[in-house]
């Protein structure tokens, strides 16, 4: 195993990091993030690997045998050269170079698979007769179809010399000539089977290892060529469109909230994950529809399969069908090879259609056809392609109204709304704001390099009384802006007021104003639990900080949760 350290930047760097994890001969021992891409890592990745933002630390790892710089930044490469020890190799690695290496080594990879014997499992399942001999002509393998077609049992063929049993056959001729023999009409030696043979020598690095022959009608040969062409098309498209595959990182356990509306939505999401039916996630902009879609995927039986995102609102109407359903070669100008759409790329995984109301009526009908028939056609295609993809779609709260007014397909709405999850807006779950703020500060501290740990009571009151028309997205932006301007560890009221105070629909009473005692008590309870946590130990500390008993704390929590 090659012990490897990486220096990465942005999403492309994280993609390279995850790609190299799958390589069997590479062991990643450390990761340096040259920008804010640290937040793109999952919690499991942060725990599993040594991760730093310090280039010098990664270059000083004693176990690293090679350091890959994936950023393309010459200054970073210079810093690595100056700080890395003489025993460490330094290499530059980019997505383009990885893809180029994959393509250049494709033929070598196939030959290696053959040498390792992996091809034998495939040959056993092929319905066409196959016979393999070594360089001396000794038959080493025949598949079950060989016996079925020729009537010659395996025991009577294997270990016999092909020059004795079938000297005029295509296999013997290919060994003699050391070149392919195709379309060779002959009788199989030892039988009366009249076949068309295609034989080819097995040559690796210029050395003859043997030859293989396949008996089959010409029509079957053409069929195999078409299937191989299709497989190559899939491979080319997958590598050419890697950026279209979006990792799914969120889980229900990672979502933040304890309010009743939020818990109800999470429970509905968990039920949806146990089904294979289409899911409609409705809610206002910024309410977390994408996160719920990812959580459903990661809780479903399809979690190890692709999760593909298609943002209907971000793709022009003229390109939606091409991107979603794909296109046959030559069916559109500039399409020089078959192009796979998002449905085909998702395979047996999940396709998440964001803002489905932005789909054209024509494509709404094609999506309905996909749901009803389990198949679709590419642009220019004549034959349906079977699909087992599961759909998750998102839309605003007005999808039903849009269907009633004729702006959205009523049939498609009925199919999607059978399993609907309505996400509450943030103004309906203001009790979750202390928890959300705490979670946001933890993530943003890593991104911004800050150490902000608290929100002042006045600031928390301002956050809890604002209507949040932009929902969680707006809350995140407000917290991030406040953290940028604060120099200490506490977000104060004046840090937030420029961003949310002027938008508030009502005047929030300040802490130094007269506030009802029960309201103040509720705020202090929330602040204490936000600071110390909701566990038993956290509640004990909260009670101590509030100078009340644990029993009194529970009574008050019960009072304000009713």
Q: Looking at the predicted structure, is the pLDDT value of residue 217 above 80?
A: no
Please tell me which residue, 378 or 547, carries the higher pLDDT value: 378
Q: Looking at the predicted structure, is the pLDDT value of residue 320 above 50?
A: yes
Res 509: pLDDT: 43
Q: Looking at the predicted structure, is the pLDDT value of residue 445 above 50?
A: yes
Q: Where are the beta strands (DSSP E) in 432-555?
A: 454-455, 490-491
- Mean pLDDT over residues 412-427, rounded? 92
Q: Strand, coil or helix: what is 53?
A: coil
Q: Strand, coil or helix: what is 361?
A: helix
Residue by residue, DSSP assigns 66-111 as EEEE-S--HHHHHHHHHHS-TTSEEEE--HHHHHHHHHHTHHHHHH
Average pLDDT of the residues of the chain: 83
Please report, to the nearest 10 degrees, the dihedral formed by the alpha carbons of residues 156, 157, 160, 166 taken in order: 120
Q: Strand, coil or helix: what is 203?
A: strand
Which pLDDT tens digit goes with each residue over 220-242? 556 666 777 676 666 656 544 54
Which is nearest to 137 in space by CA: 109, 157, 112, 117?
A: 157
Res 104: pLDDT: 47
Please tell me which residue, 130 or 505, carries the higher pLDDT value: 130
Res 79: pLDDT: 83
Q: Are 529 and 521 in contact (CB under 8 A)?
A: no
Q: Where are the alpha helices (DSSP H) in 354-432?
A: 361-373, 399-404, 410-416
Confidence of residue 420 (pLDDT cuts 50, 70, 90): very high
- How far is the CA of 151 from the CAs of 92, 105, 217, in angstroms? 58, 40, 18
Q: Are 137 and 161 in contact (CB under 8 A)?
A: yes
High-pLDDT (> 70) share of the chain, %:
85
- How far is the CA of 525 from the CAs of 345, 456, 482, 520, in angstroms? 49, 14, 23, 9
- Mean pLDDT over residues 285-313, rounded? 92
Q: How far apart are CA 307 and CA 390, in angstroms?
A: 10
Q: Where are the beta strands (DSSP E) in 457-503?
A: 490-491
- Mean pLDDT over residues 506-512, rounded? 45
Highest mean pLDDT among 2-16, 252-266, 467-481: 252-266
Q: How far apart are CA 302 and CA 389, in angstroms?
A: 10
Confidence of residue 503 (pLDDT cuts 50, 70, 90): very low
Res 179: pLDDT: 93
High-pLDDT (> 90) share of the chain, %:
36
Name, in order, each residue with C-beta under 8 angstroms of 310's C-beta and a sequence gap of 6 or more: 323, 324, 342, 351, 352, 353, 354
Q: Looking at the predicted structure, is the pLDDT value of residue 56 above 80?
A: yes
Q: Looking at the predicted structure, is the pLDDT value of residue 105 above 50?
A: no
Res 243: pLDDT: 42
Confidence of residue 101 (pLDDT cuts 50, 70, 90): low
- How far is the CA of 553 from the CAs of 405, 407, 443, in angstroms? 51, 52, 29
| Look-up of token digits 């605003």 | 396
Phi–psi pair at 341, nearest 5 degrees? -90, 175
Tokens of 475: 């809350």
- Mean pLDDT over residues 151-155, rounded? 90
Angle at 355 between CA 354 and CA 358, to 5 degrees: 125
Q: How far apart are CA 169 and CA 188, in angstroms?
A: 7
Res 222: pLDDT: 60
- Mean pLDDT over residues 101-126, rounded? 57
Res 514: pLDDT: 66
Which pLDDT tens digit goes with each residue over 76-95? 888 888 777 666 777 776 65
Please tell me which residue, 253 or 541, carries the higher pLDDT value: 253
Q: Looking at the predicted structure, is the pLDDT value of residue 116 above 60?
A: no
Cα of first residue to Cα of last residue in the chain, in angstroms, is 58
All structural domains of the chain = 2-104 (3.40.50.720), 111-216 (3.30.450.20), 252-422 (3.40.50.300), 430-561 (1.10.8.60)
- Mean pLDDT over residues 191-196, rounded? 82
- Mean pLDDT over residues 365-381, rounded? 94
Which is nearest to 80 in space by CA: 104, 98, 54?
A: 54
Residue by residue, DSSP assigns 270-306 as HHHHT--S-EEEE--TTSSHHHHHHHHHHHSTTTTS-
Q: Looking at the predicted structure, is the pLDDT value of residue 272 above 70?
A: yes
Res 255: pLDDT: 93
Q: How far apart are CA 308 and CA 347, in angstroms?
A: 10
Phi–psi pair at 280, nearest 5 degrees? -110, 120
Res 244: pLDDT: 47
Res 402: pLDDT: 85
């Amino acid at each position: 195993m090659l012990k490897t350290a990486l220096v990465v930047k942005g999403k492309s760097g994280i993609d390279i990091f995850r790609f190299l994890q799958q390589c069997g001969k590479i062991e990643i021992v450390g990761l340096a993030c040259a920008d804010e891409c640290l937040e793109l890592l999952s919690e499991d990745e942060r725990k599993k690997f040594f991760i730093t933002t310090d280039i010098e630390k990664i270059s000083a790892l004693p176990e690293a045998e090679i350091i890959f710089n994936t950023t393309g930044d010459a200054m970073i490469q210079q810093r690595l050269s100056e700080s890395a020890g003489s025993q460490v190799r330094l290499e530059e690695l980019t997505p383009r170079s990885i893809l180029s290496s994959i393509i250049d080594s494709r033929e070598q990879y196939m030959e290696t698979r053959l040498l390792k014997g992996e091809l034998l499992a495939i040959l056993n399942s092929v319905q066409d007769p196959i016979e393999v001999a070594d360089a001396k002509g000794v038959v080493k393998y025949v598949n079950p179809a060989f016996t079925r077609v020729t009537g010659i049992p395996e025991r009577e063929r294997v270990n016999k010399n092909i020059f004795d049993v079938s000297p005029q056959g295509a296999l013997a001729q290919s060994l003699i000539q050391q070149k392919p023999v195709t379309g060779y009409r002959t009788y199989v030696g030892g039988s009366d089977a009249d076949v068309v043979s295609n034989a080819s020598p097995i040559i690796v690095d210029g050395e003859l290892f043997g030859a293989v022959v396949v008996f089959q009608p010409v029509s079957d040969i053409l069929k195999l060529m078409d299937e191989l062409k299709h497989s190559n098309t899939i491979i080319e498209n997958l590598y050419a469109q890697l950026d279209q595959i979006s990792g799914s990182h969120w889980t229900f356990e990672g979502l933040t909230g304890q309010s009743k509306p939020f818990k109800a939505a999470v429970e509905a999401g968990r039920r949806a994950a146990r089904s294979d039916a289409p899911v409609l996630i409705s809610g206002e902009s910024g309410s977390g529809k994408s996160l719920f879609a990812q959580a459903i995927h990661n809780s479903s039986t399809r979690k190890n399969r692709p999760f593909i995102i298609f943002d209907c609102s971000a793709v022009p109407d003229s390109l939606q069908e091409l991107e979603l359903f794909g296109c046959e070669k030559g069916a559109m100008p500039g399409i020089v090879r078959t192009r796979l759409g998002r449905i085909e790329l998702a395979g047996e995984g999940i396709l998440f259609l964001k803002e489905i109301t932005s789909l054209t009526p024509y494509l709404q009908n094609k999506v309905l056809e996909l749901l009803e028939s389990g198949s679709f056609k590419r642009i220019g295609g004549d034959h349906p392609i079977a699909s087992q993809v599961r759909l998750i779609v998102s839309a605003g709260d007005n999808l039903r109204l849009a269907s009633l007014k004729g702006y959205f397909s009523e049939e498609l709405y009925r199919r999607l709304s059978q399993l609907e999850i309505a996400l509450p807006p943030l103004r309906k779950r203001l009790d979750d704001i202390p928890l959300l703020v705490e979670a946001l500060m933890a993530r943003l501290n890593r991104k911004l390099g800050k150490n902000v740990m608290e929100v002042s009571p006045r600031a928390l009151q301002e956050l809890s009384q604002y209507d949040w028309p932009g929902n969680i997205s707006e809350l995140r932006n407000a917290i991030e802006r406040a953290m940028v301007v604060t120099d200490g560890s506490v977000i104060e009221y004046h840090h937030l007021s420029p961003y949310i105070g002027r938008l508030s629909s009502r005047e929030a009473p300040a802490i130094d104003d007269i506030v009802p005692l029960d309201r103040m008590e509720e705020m202090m309870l929330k602040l204490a639990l936000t600071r110390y946590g909701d566990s038993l130990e956290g509640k004990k500390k909260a009670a101590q900080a509030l100078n009340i008993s644990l029993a009194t704390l529970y009574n008050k929590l019960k009072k304000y949760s009713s």
